[in-house]
Structure 1
Amino acid sequence: MNSAMEDRLREALAEAGATVDASTIRPLRAPERRRFRMDFRLVAVAAVVVLAGAATTVGLLSSPGGEDRAVAADPGSGEREMIVFLCGRSPEPEQTGCKGAATREEAQEIAAAARQAPGVREVIFEDQASAYQDFQRDFAHNKTLLAAVGAEDLPASFRLTLAKGADPLRVQQALRGVPGILTVHEVMADEEIPVRKWDVSVFLCSPASAMPSCGAERKPDSRGSFTVTKDGKGVTPAQTKAIQKLISSMPGVKEVFFEDREAAYENFRRSYKDNKTLIDATKVSDMPQSFRAVLLPDADWSRIVSRLRREPGVSQAFYQGCMLDSSRLAARYGLILPESKVCPVDKRSGEHPDPGPSPSAG
């Protein structure tokens, strides 16, 4: 993957995982310099995984029933559901691992492999037209996104219903290497989605961060990845204090609270105590420090987020509503898009104006 895709994936992962700093995701390492590559097939998995403390709500909105439509498994039945996205049209197919759109023959091979995978009870195909109908319904509130995506941009998919007790990991392994597959991941049930508690997340720079916003320098290479030539710096105590003061003084901010690494990790462990694989793969050091802000109903989130992204010591700042749409787009429709196509911006100036601090705000 090239650095442009990597940047987009990092943004999605940072909030899809919400408490995981994208710069701490373990990359392949070259001597003395860090090289980053990321398998696109892991993106949808990360987008579905909402780590503890996350305000992002990620999940799959159930499609209307029908013989040719995917129907979510009944949570009370013990069944689980997975989705297999097929390779589709892409301006940069080498970034996805796809050699082009899946052919009819490849789709048939994928369906056959899915039916033979251990624990798969049912396989239903969803074409682009059906997916687009659901997409228009799910994102009716987001006119910017609707204008940016057409039916031809959405990958076709197979929806798999697993029998009670089936292991999704074994299904993924059975489908690994089958030509024409973009991603394979498990669907999160509605009852597993954390309740949104705040509106804005502000992640602070971690030591040796790979994020340019933290001072890191990166050099793209010819193999579609980038190398960190200079590590970024972690946030200082003085910067942390200044960030908190700034957030508290911003117009439209109702409440601010701080979450350190230990608190984030404990929340994560408590929320995902039944997912041993996820817990074992995550450490306290993977969790960045962050501020969470609750906004007033009429607050201009775009101005707040834009200002915070420019503050020294801030790695990333996100509006949870945007990340909800980005995560749902990846999990339900297999698309990773830049923020400019997912979230509306201030068209009067082409960028979010700086609101500046206001001691009387709040």
Structure 2
Amino acid sequence: MNDATSQVERRLREALTEAGATIDTSMLRPLQAPERHRRFHSKPRLVTATAAAAVVALATAIILSDGRLGGAKDIVASSPELAQSDKADLLLFFCSSTAQPQEPKCQGRDATQDDFRRIEEAVWQTPGVVDVLFVSQALALDNFRSDFARNTALLRKIKVADMQPILRVKLAEGFDPMQVIQHLQATPGVAGLHPPAAKQTPAYKQESSQVRVSVCAQGSPLPACGGTMPSADGPVSTDDEGKHGKKITQAQKNVLRKMINSMPEVESFVFETQQAAYEKFRIAYAKNKKLLEATKVSDMPESFLVTLKVGASGEEVGNRLRQQPGVAQVVNQSCMFEQLKLLIDYRLSIPDGQACAHL
């Protein structure tokens, strides 16, 4: 992986961490129930409050010992809820020497037994934490194979060593996950900590079958519009007019509309205005006041939202539309979700061609 890609991924992870307070608990689908669990001792007051669930969990939990990371302590979840990923509010990733890309603070090493002990103590000392479940590298691979069962080429590529051990963390209802992230993210042995992917994409859960075709806005920095993206060293200079793109013309928009309407792969499409896009954004991120204060209607793109027929390839449609004048960018929503889930839920950086070849 080159340095530029690493910087982009690092920024994405930082942005996802900052956005972690925006939670949509309706989106995650259950993972297959794990066959084996490590054990983490739950807080006594929680066991008292959920005695029946605790008895079931303690009776059915089986000690898992794959020995891959030097003997993490036994972990017990007070209820079986966290066997389903939609019950987790945060994913805590342990350092692993074989995971790619490597997190700089892990220094290329595995989390040690002492790291596991310190993390266990730190987790339970953190206000708001009510339950945790350990997911080993082997179990993470099982979950990965279930999530991406249709992508056979990717399944052949990813091995157990590519996985990182994970703690699924359950928080008290209404508790701010950012408080937990800030408390735990610097703990030795922790590679990363953030909400699952599906809880970070509440605005677009109905768009997985769509291709989003965003058109050029006045002053766009996107190269397709004639602009230049800001560099890592700072924003584009405002006095350099040559670096700012031009808005799509009405004639270009009409041609694009006719092209979309004539494509046999298209089931239907709608044009989304900046105001409509902003309303969707405002509803989705209602809890993130700082983000809403920093975002204006003019920051939103105008887009054609194209719904494809069953079996149509979003990649093929997107590639044709991407070549049209006035098109800023084309996002295959299905591919985007696949890549986000790979990066956020499994910390895997997979190129478009491999992540979305089956779509």
1:38 to 1, 7, 11: 11
Quick check: 2:132–2:167 contact (8 Å CA) kept in 1?
Answer: yes
Percent identity of equivalent pairs: 31
Higher mean displacement: 172-181 or 41-50: 41-50
1:13-56 CA-partner distances (Å, limit 9, x unpaired): xxxxxxxxxxxxxxxxxxxxxxxx826343467699699xxxxx
Structure 1: gaps spanning 5 or more residues: 10-36, 52-56, 347-362
| Structure 2 counterpart of 1:326, one-letter code | Q
Range that drifts further, 284-293 or 209-218: 209-218
Counting matched residue pairs gives: 306
* Residue 99 of structure 1: aligned partner: 107
Q: 1:255 corresponds to which residue?
A: 268
Counterpart in 1 of 2:303? 290
Could you say what secondary structure the match of 1:93 adopts? coil
Quote the residue 1:62 is aligned against: 31
> 1:160 offset after TM fit, Å?
1.1
1:322-333 equivalent positions in 2, closer than 5 A: 322-333=335-346
Which secondary structure state, in structure 1, belongs to the residue aligned with residue 224 of structure 2? Answer: helix
The match for 1:131 is 140
Instruction: Provide the rounded CA distance (Å) in 2 between the counterparts of 1:189 and 1:72.
Output: 17
Alignment partner, residue 213 of structure 1: 224
Q: Contact (CA 8 Å) 1:58, 1:328: kept in 2 or not?
A: no
Find the counterpart in structure 1 of residue 188 from structure 2: 179
Tell me how large the CA RMSD over aligned residues is: 3.8
Higher gyration radius (CA): 2
TM-score, normalised to structure 2, is 0.70
Contact kept, 8 Å, 1:326 with 1:337, in 2: the verdict is yes
1:185 Cα offset (Å): 1.6
Partner of 1:84: 92
Q: Which residue of 2 aligns with 1:151?
A: 160
Q: Is the CA contact 2:226–2:246 (under 8 Å) kept in the aligned structure 1?
A: no
Identify which of 248, 251, 273 aligns with 1:236: 248
TM-score normalised by L of structure 1: 0.70
For residue 15 of structure 2, what is the amino acid of its counterpart? L
Name the CA distance, whole Å, in 1 between partners of 2:344 and 2:223: 27
Change (3 A) 1:67 1:292: same
Unaligned runs of 5+ in 2: 40-76
Paired with 1:93 and 1:202, the residues of 2 have a C-alpha distance of 33
Structure 1 position 271, deviation (Å): 3.9
Between 1 and 2, higher relative CO (CA 8 Å, sep ≥ 6) is seen in 1
Secondary structure in 2 aligned to 1:38?
A: helix
Partner SS state of residue 4, structure 1: helix
Distance 2:180 2:248 in 1: 45
Change (3 A) 1:175 1:191: closer
Query: 1:73 touches 1:81 (CA, 8 Å); kept in 2?
Result: no
1:199 counterpart = 2:210? yes
SS at match of 2:89: strand
Q: What is the distance in 1 between the residues matched to 2:89 and 2:179?
A: 13
Q: Residue in 2 aligned with 1:308?
A: 321
User: Which structure's residues are more often helix, by fraction?
Assistant: 2
Question: Deviation per CA, 1:259-298, whole angstroms, max 9, x where unpaired?
Answer: 1221111122234445545534543233222111112224
What one-letter code is carried by the residue in structure 2 that aligns with 1:204?
Answer: V
Give the equivalent residue in structure 1 for 2:357. 344
Task: Encode CA deviations 1:180-205: one digit per residue, 9 max, x unaligned.
Answer: 33322224569968334742111223
Please tell me the residue identity of whatever aligns with 1:64: A
Residue 292 of structure 2, aligned match among 252, 266, 279: 279
Higher-strand-fraction structure: 1
Mapped contact 2:265–2:308 kept (Cα < 8 A): yes
